Homo-oligomer: A and B are copies of this chain.
């Protein structure tokens, strides 16, 4: 684009208008001046319709995962839509045991959205991607009229490389597997909701939004190949829904120990106030691992050795159960079935 032809973007006071989505000069300018500097990497700079990239190493399989992100509010304690859009998709790639390689990002912008906020978001995405070592290699920018969107939505897709012989997934769970959790639950959902409802707690509750592929790599490196059966990030629907998904996929039941499931006291308190059950609240920086019972202690040690797994716990086990129930021994010595999330609990949490 010949820069002499256009007024520079007013990144301080400017706003998104319909032209920024029309694919012409204004769109090219927005990409060149706002997105490219934030995401900077040679693949994106190719500037073609698609990015041409080195393939995974020989023998590896591809892994592909996608998520649209519509969290409201866009900025919240501990993160924002941009970093969340990077972490969320990286984590879904990582949950197969793959090494994430590349990300794409497609934006739906609402007319009138401030460029300064968009730049803040893009920079946050770029930082999250660089910190994770996974470049945003291709993108897209669409604009909808005021009242037809809600600021910014971001859909990210991730591609990764899965080493030969690694088989991790919901159907790999086996009776006797230990159920491990990498840390306390509920932080993300409560942080977003507190901000949305303008609730102030004594201690600020921050989202746990984080990229988990490093933690996964540490776990896998510490254990014999084949002993990690399932990995999953308990996002929307929370821990309870995630465990029910795995039970459904594997045809097994689970037995949990309520007292072993970590919840920060301030999250517990906030949940009580808000009428939420932390078991159903979304997390964006935690993982559940089902590992061979024999390696449970080694797995826990490996998780705790990593900054994102310091508070990892063993919370239960998988077992044969024709009904596929997730049951929990309660703190009070009872036992109850933990079902799927069935109400909406928290809309637009990620």
Interface set of A (CB-CB < 8 Å, partner B) = 1-2, 5, 17-19, 21-28, 46-56, 58, 60-70, 91-93, 95-96, 98, 102, 104-108, 137-145, 147-150, 153, 155, 157-162, 169-171, 232-233, 235-237, 241, 245, 248-249, 280, 282, 324, 339-348
Contacts and interface: CB of A to CB of B under 8 A. Distances in A.
A55 B49 contact: no
Given A55-B62, A235-B23, A98 B50 contact: yes
A-side interface mostly: mixed
A106 B68 contact: yes
Nearest to A249: B47
Contact of A341 (B24, B70, B106): B24
Contacts of A58: 58
A60 B60 CA distance: 13
A64 B104 contact: yes
Contacts of A17: 344
A145 B150 CA distance: 9
13 contacts: A24-B237, A25-B341, A47-B249, A48-B232, A50-B92, A50-B95, A52-B62, A64-B104, A64-B138, A68-B142, A70-B142, A145-B347, A148-B149
Given A18-B344, A142-B68, A52 B169 contact: yes
Contact of A236 (B23, B105, B157, B162): B23
B61 A54 contact: yes
B92 A65 contact: no
B149 A340 contact: no
A148 B150 CA distance: 5
B23 A51 contact: no
Nearest to A230: B48
A324 to B, nearest CB: 7
Contact of A138 (B47, B52, B66): B66
A155 B68 contact: yes
Contact of A64 (B22, B159, B161, B341): B159
Given A70-B108, A140-B155, A160 B23 contact: no
Contacts of A241: 23-24
Given A23-B341, A344-B18, A52 B96 contact: yes
A23 B282 contact: yes
A52 B153 contact: no
A24 B93 contact: no
Contacts of A280: 24
Contacts of A106: 66-68, 106, 155, 157
A28 to B, nearest CB: 7
A340 B65 contact: no
A340 B55 contact: no
Given A65-B51, A347-B145, A25 B340 contact: yes
Given A47-B170, A343-B19, A345-B24, A63 B68 contact: no
A249 to B, nearest CB: 6
Nearest to A240: B24
A216 to B, nearest CB: 12
Contact of A1 (B91, B105, B248): B248
